[in-house]
Chains A and B, each alone.
Chain A
């Protein structure tokens, strides 16, 4: 097991780099919003970085909602084997 090839992602420092890289990309995307003209259908779309904030919040809510749904809907694997 020890002589197995070490992969780039095996090093937790690289995972950290990826994470902070992602944060930087997001900041850049948010800033870019101030410079790019975009065609909007609704007035609220023109809020700076609307899509970024919406994407983050929607993703968060979906995961939290799913987590809570599991409390109601989860059953053991053999539930239907009767």
Chain B
């Protein structure tokens, strides 16, 4: 019976049962559902199923291939780990939203056509916003609204694109959408709109701010869920529809670079992680842009490893927030004394994201960088190297250093709750497992004819050189006092445009319009006054039309009129 349902639906339908259960049992259900879903994915056979005819279009609700399967595995795994992490939560809304969100993301990666993709695409948006709103603060409410508008907007872009695409090609199959030349400029308008829709969810530059805005406002456990699915669904969609799209290469490099500078100066450590997430997506986008088997394997494996270490980073910061009540770098420090296990897990996640040899990021990110090297893209290569040093800065060092070491804040708390510890230890173990035994991950990647060996003496050495010298730079900067101290405050980003500039512009226009309106009504008044006075002059008691005329005069005018008429008649004949 389990295989009769499309993947993802187990979680969505299961989520609807959660509110019927007592609050104590609800977290248990969120643990069971990903396991059931995972079992189902294991049973899936490659191919297309659940076909349906809607109007003139053939829908393929389920399409199973190697690309969708990798994402199917990791989404269930991430859901399971996040559910363990959230076992202590007694909030029906969060459990239901999280499970629908995961189910929708799973459904989307198995969707074989663009209409099914659209439905799941919007469902991820609508369900996930509740993980932000569940913080139940004014800030999270506003932030969630902005998030929802942008996410639903992405769905509308997708829908418009799909309609145009279906109209021009007669097909809604979700497969490679970009032409063989890899140029967006020669793609149809429908395909460009679909590309933009994916770009919003993938947090392309200037379309990215929803991420840094909403994720730090999510609940402690909700943000762990959020970090895994939305953006990686977009990466999947780009890898499916736009492999080899040239513009993605420079775009990806920009994505790896600009968040790095923000992460250096950001005080909210969960927002630092959101910037760092954006930066990691950049590597995946570059891999898609190159579009070779090696680079696409790199993208997919990096997404896989990334989901785990990024969730783990958000878990450790969540644990800190849960115990201390703050996540501001200015208020934290020295927590390794009270939360040693969380500290170790955080360091393992940090080493993984930085790409230190023997940790997961090393065996995945290097495939993308190697593919760039093979293509001899010098500037892209150098850009990614700078970004790698940047990752070492914000995620490798800043996160663990300011939370757990650095200046001792004097905060003494208990270690994280047991369920959080279990989830974190499992995540850390997976980071090490992938790093030490990459063959397991490599065996499930989409392209099997790629022979990539991450552990060569040269590669290990250069990675250590890059990263350990970067740590040395940090040590020197701190010792010499050049390293900027943490500072309370926020930093302007592109969201300033729609949070400050646009509202101000609208207010400005509104006041201007008000003034114009006042002038218009003044003008009307003057004109009306004049007209009135004219009418009064002509028709008023003293007016020319109000005079009493004698019968004789009337007769005279009548005769004159008739005479004029006669003349006209005579000449006109």
Cβ-closest chain A residue relative to B369: A41
Contact A36 B465 (CB under 8 A): no
Q: Which chain A positions have C-beta within 8 A of B260? A: 62, 66
Overall SS of chain A's interface:
helix
Give the CA-CA distance A73 to B490 in the complex, in Å: 8
Contact of A63 with B469 at beta-carbon distance under 8 Å, contacts A51-B462, A76-B489, A77-B490 already known: no
Contact B373 A42 (CB under 8 A): yes
Binary contact readout A21-49 vs B (1 if CB under 8 angstroms, 0 otherwise): 01101100110110011110110000001
B169 close to A (CB within 8 Å)? no
Contact B381 A41 (CB under 8 A): yes
Contact of A63 with B470 at beta-carbon distance under 8 Å, contacts A38-B457, A39-B456, A69-B261 already known: no
Contact B466 A54 (CB under 8 A): yes
Q: In the complex, which of the residues B262, B337, B458, B465 has the most CB atoms of chain A within 10 Å of its own CB atom?
A: B465
Contact of A60 with B459 at beta-carbon distance under 8 Å, contacts A70-B491, A74-B265 already known: no
Contact of A60 with B477 at beta-carbon distance under 8 Å, contacts A51-B462, A55-B465, A66-B265 already known: yes
B122 close to A (CB within 8 Å)? no
Contact A59 B392 (CB under 8 A): yes
Contact A59 B474 (CB under 8 A): yes
Q: How distant is B332 from chain A, measured CB to nearest CB, in Å?
A: 16
Q: In the complex, which of the residues A26, A32, A37, A57 has the most CB atoms of chain B within 10 Å of its own CB atom?
A: A26
Q: Which chain A positions have C-beta within 8 A of B386? A: 58, 61-62
Give the CA-CA distance A66 to B319 in the complex, in Å: 28
Contact B378 A42 (CB under 8 A): yes
B483 close to A (CB within 8 Å)? yes
Q: Which chain A positions have C-beta within 8 A of B493? A: 73
Q: Which chain B positions have C-beta within 8 A of A23? A: 472
Contact B491 A75 (CB under 8 A): yes
Contact A56 B500 (CB under 8 A): no
Contact of A41 with B374 at beta-carbon distance under 8 Å, contacts A9-B405, A55-B470, A60-B477 already known: yes
B464 close to A (CB within 8 Å)? yes
Contact A56 B492 (CB under 8 A): no
Say which residue of A7, A9, A22, A62 sits within 8 Å of B393 (CB atoms). A62
Contact A74 B489 (CB under 8 A): yes
How many chain-A residues does the 8 Å CB contact rule pick out? 47
Q: Which chain A positions have C-beta within 8 A of B392? A: 55, 59
Q: Which chain A positions have C-beta within 8 A of B466? A: 51-52, 54-55
Q: Which chain B positions have C-beta within 8 A of A51? A: 385, 461-463, 465-466, 469
Q: In the complex, which of the residues A53, A59, A65 has the most CB atoms of chain B within 10 Å of its own CB atom?
A: A59
Give the CA-CA distance A72 to B262 in the complex, in Å: 12
Cβ-closest chain B residue relative to A61: B386
Contact of A37 with B490 at beta-carbon distance under 8 Å, contacts A23-B472, A63-B264 already known: no
Give the CA-CA distance A38 to B458 in the complex, in Å: 4
B573 close to A (CB within 8 Å)? no
A67 close to B (CB within 8 Å)? yes
Say which residue of B465, B473, B487 sits within 8 Å of A59 (CB atoms). B473
Q: Which chain A positions have C-beta within 8 A of B534? A: none
Give the CA-CA distance A33 to B463 in the complex, in Å: 12
Q: How distant is A38 from chain B, measured CB to nearest CB, in Å?
A: 3
Q: Which chain B positions have C-beta within 8 A of A63? A: 264, 393, 473-474, 477, 482-484
B298 close to A (CB within 8 Å)? no
Contact A19 B491 (CB under 8 A): no
Say which residue of A7, A41, A60, A79 sits within 8 Å of B473 (CB atoms). A60
Q: How distant is A77 from chain B, measured CB to nearest CB, in Å?
A: 6
Contact B373 A41 (CB under 8 A): yes
Q: Which chain B positions have C-beta within 8 A of A56? A: 469-470, 472-473
Query: Which of B367-389 touch A at CB < 8 Å?
Result: 373-374, 376, 378, 381, 385-386, 388-389
Contact B385 A22 (CB under 8 A): no
Contact A62 B374 (CB under 8 A): no
Give the CA-CA distance A30 to B265 in the complex, in Å: 30
Contact of A70 with B265 at beta-carbon distance under 8 Å, contacts A37-B457, A52-B466 already known: yes
Q: How distant is A49 from chain B, measured CB to nearest CB, in Å?
A: 6
Contact B492 A75 (CB under 8 A): yes
Say which residue of B381, B472, B487 sits within 8 Å of A74 (CB atoms). B487
Q: In the complex, which of the residues B263, B378, B462, B470 has the most CB atoms of chain A within 10 Å of its own CB atom?
A: B462
Q: Which chain A positions have C-beta within 8 A of B459? A: 38-39
Contact B491 A73 (CB under 8 A): yes
Contact B487 A58 (CB under 8 A): no
Binary contact readout B562-573 vs A (1 if CB under 8 angstroms, 0 otherwise): 000000000000
Q: How distant is A6 from chain B, measured CB to nearest CB, in Å?
A: 10
Q: Which chain B positions have C-beta within 8 A of A64? A: 482
Q: How distant is A53 from chain B, measured CB to nearest CB, in Å?
A: 7
- Taking Cβ atoms with an 8 Å cutoff, the residues of A that contact B are 5, 7, 9, 19, 22-23, 25-26, 29-30, 32-33, 36-39, 41-42, 49-67, 69-70, 72-77, 79-80
- Taking Cβ atoms with an 8 Å cutoff, the residues of B that contact A are 260-265, 336-337, 373-374, 376, 378, 381, 385-386, 388-390, 392-393, 405, 456-459, 461-475, 477, 479, 482-484, 487-493, 499-500
Nearest first, the 9 closest Cβ-Cβ pairs linking A and B are A38-B458, A66-B264, A41-B373, A58-B389, A55-B466, A59-B473, A52-B465, A51-B465, A55-B469
- Can you pick out 11 interface pairs between chain A and chain B where the beta carbons lie within 8 Å of each other? A23-B472, A29-B469, A38-B456, A41-B373, A41-B376, A50-B462, A55-B465, A56-B469, A64-B482, A69-B262, A80-B500
Q: Apart from A69-B261, A80-B490, what 9 extra A-B contacts exist at CB < 8 Å?
A: A5-B337, A22-B468, A36-B457, A42-B376, A49-B465, A62-B264, A66-B484, A75-B491, A79-B490
